[in-house]
């Protein structure tokens, strides 16, 4: 199993830059990185480097970019203008991915919907949008990975809903990002995951979390922990065993934690620690 680093772990560390993350990830033995769009945009706006320079970096190193993380709020757009804006953003992300050698775009659902949409209405809309997106990514061999987010305000907030959407789209280019925190935070069902087709899981986000009530407003990404840290209540063995059983073929496990106290570390120490806990996790549960 290869290991990946998601910049959610350290995006607010002092003087953070994506280019430094690439160097540190290579140094501490990660095989892949999920580049966070907000980090990338922040650096580009500050003129720290160009996309082309990052692309050159990847050509000369072993580290690869697993995913562009992310195109956010892709679904349930009410006006044509809003729908067009999503597709324009996708065009720009595809352009960047082609320069960076990235073959996966994570898409994140919209939140705080004004309309009181049913599960079926949200599914129909997401299926239609994803099918449109497939037409754009297909010529480039880029995949789309839908990340359901385990918060009450999110329009697709359980694995169960996300899986039904991806099944209906029925494209080898569309799958799911299974984030352990998101799975637990809105009580996605193990039965659904156990019956799922492992080929439909594209990305596996690793983290631990504090024991917070499902749906509580304070049960946010900030309650994530390094996996195995004191107080972590996630059933890591069950995640590992279930993904193996259903035939997850992603071959990468990617650590993604958004804990404010970890942002107080230096950027380098954060990557180093993330590598240590991810390697220990793989050793204990997967290999
Ligand atoms: Zn995630």
Which residue is listed with tokens 């990185």? Answer: 33
Question: Tens digits of per-residue pLDDT, 58-108?
Answer: 999 999 999 999 999 999 999 999 999 999 999 999 999 999 999 999 999
pLDDT at 157: 98
| Cα separation of the two ends of the chain | 7
pLDDT at 180: 98
What is the Å distance from ligand 1's center to 71 Cα?
A: 13
Which residue is listed with tokens 């994530």? Answer: 224
What is the Å distance from ligand 1's center to 51 Cα?
A: 23
What is the Å distance from ligand 1's center to 181 Cα?
A: 8
* Across 21-42, average pLDDT: 98
DSSP state of 9: G
Which residue is listed with tokens 């799911």? Answer: 176
Q: How far apart are CA 165 and CA 162, in angstroms?
A: 5
Q: What is the residue-averaged pLDDT of the chain?
A: 97
| The pLDDT of residue 5 is above 90 | yes
The pair of three-digit structure tokens given for residue 33, joined into one six-digit string: 């990185």
- pTM, 2 dp: 0.97
* Across 239-257, average pLDDT: 97
Question: Tens digits of per-residue pLDDT, 105-148?
Answer: 999 999 999 999 999 999 999 999 999 999 999 999 999 999 99
What is the Å distance from ligand 1's center to 147 Cα?
A: 7
What is the Å distance from ligand 1's center to 256 Cα?
A: 6
What is the Å distance from ligand 1's center to 149 Cα?
A: 8
What is the Å distance from ligand 1's center to 253 Cα?
A: 11
The pair of three-digit structure tokens given for residue 235, joined into one six-digit string: 């059933």
Q: How far apart are CA 36 and CA 158, in angstroms?
A: 22
Torsion angle, alpha carbons of 6, 11, 13, 14, to 10 = 130
Q: How far apart are CA 238 and CA 104, in angstroms?
A: 26
Q: Which CATH class is domain 2-286?
A: alpha beta
HEC letters along 65-91? EEEEEEEECCCCCCCHHHHHHHHHHHH
Question: Tens digits of per-residue pLDDT, 156-199?
Answer: 999 999 999 999 999 999 999 999 999 999 999 999 999 999 99
Q: How far apart are CA 184 and CA 190, in angstroms?
A: 10
What is the Å distance from ligand 1's center to 4 Cα?
A: 12
Q: Sketch the domain layout of the chain as residue ranges.
A: 2-286
What is the Å distance from ligand 1's center to 84 Cα?
A: 26
What is the Å distance from ligand 1's center to 179 Cα?
A: 5
pLDDT band at residue 287 using 50, 70 and 90 as cut-offs: confident
What is the Å distance from ligand 1's center to 66 Cα?
A: 13
């Amino acid at each position: 199993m290869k290991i990946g680093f998601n910049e959610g772990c350290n995006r607010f560390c002092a003087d953070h830059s994506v280019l430094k993350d690439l160097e540190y990830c290579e140094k501490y033995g990660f095989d892949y990185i999920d580049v966070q769009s907000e980090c990338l945009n922040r650096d580009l706006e500050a003129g720290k480097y160009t996309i082309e320079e990052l692309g050159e970096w990847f050509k000369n190193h072993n580290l690869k970019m697993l995913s562009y993380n992310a195109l956010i709020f892709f679904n349930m757009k009410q006006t044509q203008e809003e729908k067009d804006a999503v597709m324009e953003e996708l065009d720009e992300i595809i352009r960047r991915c082609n320069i960076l050698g990235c073959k996966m775009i994570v898409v994140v659902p919209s939140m705080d919907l004004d309309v009181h949409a049913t599960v079926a209405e949200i599914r129909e809309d997401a299926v239609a949008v994803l099918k449109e997106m497939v037409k754009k990514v297909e010529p480039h061999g880029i995949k789309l990975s839908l990340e359901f987010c385990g918060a009450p305000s999110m329009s697709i907030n359980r694995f169960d809903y996300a899986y039904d959407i991806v099944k209906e789209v029925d494209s080898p280019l569309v799958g799911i990002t299974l984030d352990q925190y998101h799975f637990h935070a809105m009580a996605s069902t193990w039965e659904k995951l156990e019956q799922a087709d492992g080929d439909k899981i594209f990305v596996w986000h690793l983290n631990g979390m504090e024991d917070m009530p499902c749906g509580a407003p304070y049960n946010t990404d900030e309650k994530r922990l390094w996996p195995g840290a004191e107080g972590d209540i996630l059933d890591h063995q069950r995640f590992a065993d279930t993904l193996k059983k259903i035939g997850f073929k992603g071959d990468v496990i990617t650590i993604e934690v958004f804990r404010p106290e970890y942002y107080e570390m230096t950027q380098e120490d954060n990557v180093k620690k993330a590598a240590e806990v991810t390697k220990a996790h793989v050793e204990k549960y997967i290999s």
